[in-house]
Structure 1
Amino acid sequence: MKIVVRNSSSVQPAEPTWSGSMPLSEFDQIGVVTHVPTIYFYRPPQDWAAPPCRMFETLQSSLSKALVIFYPLAGRLRWLPGSRLELDCNGAGAQLTEAESDATLDDLGDFAPSPEYADLIPQVNYSTPMAEIPILCVQITKFRCGGVSLSCNVSHAVVDGQSALYFLSEWAALARGAVAGPPPVLDRRLMRAGEISDRRSEFGHEQFDPPPLMIGETSNDGERRKETAVALLKLTAAQVEDLKREANRTRADGGAASVKRPYTKYESIAGHMWRCACKARRHVAAQPTALGICVDVRKHVRRLPPPPRKFFGNVVVDVIARGRSGEITAAPLGYAAARIREAIDIVTGDYVESMIDYLKGLEDFSRLQDIKAPGTNDGTFYGNPNLGVTSWLALPLHGLDFGWGKEIFMGPGTHDCDGDSLVIPSSDGDGSVTVAVCLQDSCMEDFKKIFYEDLPI
């Protein structure tokens, strides 16, 4: 697929905005210091009239207006001592690119994330100084059939998924000529640590410990170098309900709490994926394995005032479910779901405040950061023998209309790290889901086979 860039420009806020240094919260400082891509595909409607240049102009003018409201996205990050990040709200602007492709939308098949589509996504070069990298990069690509893709690459150090999607929905509203909704809450002090308390000693925060290695290995370097493959696996609403019933039928706690708190859709699907990955990777029974879980903690934060729903930043934590492959695969689905439930249940108001205090006491964040730059991708790795399953089930993913209708597909952008996976709800709202999973090429076919063969009958 050949992509030709026709236009690329920096888009500044349409009006002067607040300028200055914005300290980031402790939650902004940890995890993957990278840009997270998402991509939307649109088919041309029957009455398609807007030429590509008009679409680009619409995006450009509406983005300029949106950056007045969401002005942190027009700034730049910079490093401080101790590997801390700070946001410079300087109005430097977001990057907007216009491109054309010689392919049609039908050529893309099921839209599975693939390195083949990398040119549809604005690339970010982390080998350049941090202060020169746009926080938000957008690309619109017109296909030969008249359809388009819109991809957004936004810094995860500045926003989490909930915040990024709120920005996109407000930007789309402005592009359609609609009135913007409630403004985001930009004050990061709502999630910054105060004085360090005794809470930091109440929890171990094992999520910051290195995940398990393959038995006999002293590093994960060998696993990192192996070729990977990506698959989109569909589960119907009936299959999802079957997994939930099976997980709750085989509860590890004997079913005592099944009526009060049945396992959720996520816990059941993630448990199924964990079991399938252990089998497909052909682990020995004693192999330690972990499953990484991303938890939105907005409802758990005990702050006065608490962070509102439109808080703009990162309010997510990672927790870890652990086990041994032999136990995960030999036991019924309820066992894996129970391990996942135990990890999620750790996240309480006290836990969140303890984590903030723990991070506040660190002098150097470098060991907790995974920087996606050439030659520096040496942070936390949730590939073999581990898995990371991120839920997008509660995010407002679908229905993004910039004036040319709603998308026909929305998904992650490039997705090439072993063990990285997402659970995405159907755009139809019918209860079905799509699992986007990246695994080593040598075990992907086995995983796909086991994924469907092990579904409850």
Structure 2
Amino acid sequence: MAPRVFCVRRSKPQLILPESETQRDVVQVSDIDDQGSLRVQVAVLMAYKVNEEMRGIMDPVEEIKRGLGKALVFYHPLAGRIIEGQNKKLVVFCFDEKRVWFVPAKANVELDELGVESLHPPCPHLNKLLHHVPDSTGITERPLLHIQLTRFTCGGFVLAIRFNHTMMDSQGLVQFLNSVAELGHGGATAPSILPVWERDFLKSRPTPRITCTHREFEESDESKTAVFHGKSVDVEKLLKNLRWLFGETLVFGMLILKRSFTFGSRELQAIKDQCLENCTTFEALTACLWKCRTAALNPHPAATVKLTFLVNVRERLQGGTYELNRGYYGNTFVSVAAATTAELLCKNPVAYAAELIREAKNNVNEDYVKSVADLMVLKGRPKWSVLRNLLIADNTRLGLDEVDFGWGRPMFGGVVSVSYGVGYLVPHKRMEDINKGVLVALALPPIVMGKFQNEIREMIGGHK
């Protein structure tokens, strides 16, 4: 019997307002929120199996809608609108248009028929599981949260959320969602962690000054090319030029392959064994990805290649001038880059790359955070460079896979989109493993993707 075609029937979009009157004001985001590369909307999914104890007792649509209305009283800026002011500065208007888009939907299959693996990035069902509101792709004058809850015939459901990254990072989103759970199913009258705005702490200094090196914003030398079969071809430069000529959607849609790879305990340990004893899993894995991706792209040996990653600064600011309150839900990370030549990266053991990553990470302190904020103001809010740069976004410890609305923890929780130049790390647990592993999502040209997979196999086998 042929499997059923997965279909979703959406109800009319609803606007969720704060349950009671909230403050009418205008607030600014911080300059760490207002980084050029954060002016995007990010999609996440959380998939929940049926909970027989809840069947017929609670409706996830009504429970989560109720929790949202209560939580928005405390998180009222999330129901506002962003506009761009002077010098590209983003401000949040919290007046009469306080609302969040919410779309109930029903699927025609059981969640197990769909398969939890199909929800991993790159999720092929995203367009069905997350309603695209017309004219909502920008970040200004648009709802800051879009939510779709899709119920499956088995009683399970998928909660899909698209949020404006300038308002909060994934850690802030988890804090908000936990509040929705506490105020909805949990029956609390206030969140256990009260939200705090306090965006002034991460704004630029009165006299902005760039006091640190920020290589992640520097464009690489485009004059050096890769060599394939005796011909000079720079894969990344070629993609950049095609993107300019034909548009990002056409070029990346046709020429880029999106894949995810899982690293369990065995694979992670095999990589760590090739690094120093005190090397963390993050340092070892990102070093492996950086080296293998660079080898697959085969840039000119003398070309500078970079690995950009995000560092959460909450702990690094503790005890300092800009210590953040526990309830702060804005963006609390800065980017930092490790850099070397392609030749040194590919010829040296993976421990070399891991050490560069650690050194870069150790440069992040209070002064570095303020230097990033000042750079945004002085340089017109630049974006991270793409050419010969791999950005790693680590979502493995944020808790999206632990948010419980009353149906238990999700089968999967994490980002579901993949884009060129970014490596997403998502928590993943294999049946045979006691501890969580990591799922890595990447996008590369097809030929390069094949070479990357071969490099990874050799790395795990200990040959590189």
TM-score tier after normalising by the smaller chain length: 0.7 to 0.9
In structure 2, the residue corresponding to 1:119 is in which secondary structure? Answer: helix
In structure 2, the residue corresponding to 1:435 is in which secondary structure? Answer: strand
Q: CA deviation at 1:139?
A: 0.7
Q: Is the 8 A contact 2:43 2:417 kept in 1?
A: yes
Q: CA deviation at 1:350?
A: 1.8
1:268 matched to which residue of 2? 284
| Number of residue-to-residue matches in the alignment | 427
Residue 169 to residue 103, structure 1, CA distance change in 2 (3 Å): same
In structure 2, the residue corresponding to 1:454 is in which secondary structure? Answer: helix
Give me the TM-score of the superposition, normalised by structure 2: 0.84
Residue 73 to residue 264, structure 1, CA distance change in 2 (3 Å): same
Q: Does 1:222 align with 2:225?
A: no
Distance (Å, rounded) in 1 between the aligned partners of 2:71 and 2:105: 22
Q: 1:136 aligns with which of 145, 148, 166?
A: 145
Report runs of 4+ in structure 1 exceeding 4 Å deviation.
124-131, 211-214, 216-219
1:400 matched to which residue of 2? 403
Q: Is the 8 A contact 1:121 1:413 kept in 2?
A: no
Distance (Å, rounded) in 2 between the aligned partners of 1:396 and 1:176: 19
Structure 1: unaligned runs, 5 residues or longer: 249-257, 370-379
2:415 matched to which residue of 1? 412
Q: 1:25 aligns with which of 22, 25, 30?
A: 30
2:344 matched to which residue of 1? 327
2:428 matched to which residue of 1? 426
1:173 matched to which residue of 2? 182
Q: Is the 8 A contact 1:76 1:132 kept in 2?
A: yes
Structure 2: unaligned runs, 5 residues or longer: 1-5, 226-233
Q: Is the 8 A contact 1:94 1:134 kept in 2?
A: yes
Q: CA deviation at 1:347?
A: 1.0
1:220-278 per-position Cα deviation (integer Å, ceiling 9, x unaligned): 23365242232221212232233223111xxxxxxxxx6xxx22111100000111112
Q: Is the 8 A contact 2:102 2:148 kept in 1?
A: yes
Q: Is the 8 A contact 1:40 1:149 kept in 2?
A: yes
**Is 87-96 or 303-312 further displaced after alignment?**
303-312
Q: Is the 8 A contact 1:196 1:361 kept in 2?
A: no
1:184-226 per-position Cα deviation (integer Å, ceiling 9, x unaligned): 11121222234226xx243233332235657364982336524
Distance (Å, rounded) in 2 between the aligned partners of 1:132 and 1:324: 43
Q: CA deviation at 1:305?
A: 5.7
1:12 matched to which residue of 2? 17
Distance (Å, rounded) in 1 between the aligned partners of 2:263 and 2:140: 43
Q: Does 1:76 align with 2:81?
A: yes
Could you tell me which amino acid in structure 2 is paired with residue 181 of structure 1?
A: S
Q: Does 1:300 align with 2:320?
A: no
Distance (Å, rounded) in 2 between the aligned partners of 1:135 and 1:79: 14
Q: CA deviation at 1:392?
A: 1.9
2:155 matched to which residue of 1? 146
Which runs of structure 2 are paired with 1:52-67 in the superposition (5 Å)? 54-67=59-72
Q: Is the 8 A contact 1:159 1:313 kept in 2?
A: yes
Distance (Å, rounded) in 2 between the aligned partners of 1:345 and 1:40: 33
Over the residues paired in the alignment, what is the CA RMSD in angstroms?
Answer: 2.6
Could you tell me which amino acid in structure 2 is paired with residue 20 of structure 1?
A: D
Distance (Å, rounded) in 2 between the aligned partners of 1:60 and 1:269: 39
Could you tell me which amino acid in structure 2 is paired with residue 114 of structure 1?
A: C
1:141-178 per-position Cα deviation (integer Å, ceiling 9, x unaligned): 12244321101111101101211111111212222224
Distance (Å, rounded) in 2 between the aligned partners of 1:316 and 1:126: 29
**Is 162-171 or 114-123 further displaced after alignment?**
114-123
Could you tell me which amino acid in structure 1 is paired with residue 82 of structure 2?
A: L
Residue 109 to residue 131, structure 1, CA distance change in 2 (3 Å): closer
Q: Is the 8 A contact 2:403 2:409 kept in 1?
A: yes
2:271 matched to which residue of 1? 243
Distance (Å, rounded) in 1 between the aligned partners of 2:174 and 2:114: 27
Distance (Å, rounded) in 2 between the aligned partners of 1:218 and 1:422: 24
**Identical residues among aligned pairs (%):** 24
Distance (Å, rounded) in 1 between the aligned partners of 2:52 and 2:369: 51
Q: CA deviation at 1:127?
A: 6.5
Could you tell me which amino acid in structure 1 is paired with residue 18 of structure 2?
A: P
Could you tell me which amino acid in structure 2 is paired with residue 280 of structure 1?
A: A
Q: Is the 8 A contact 1:191 1:307 kept in 2?
A: no
Q: CA deviation at 1:20?
A: 1.0
1:2 matched to which residue of 2? 7
2:228 matched to which residue of 1? none
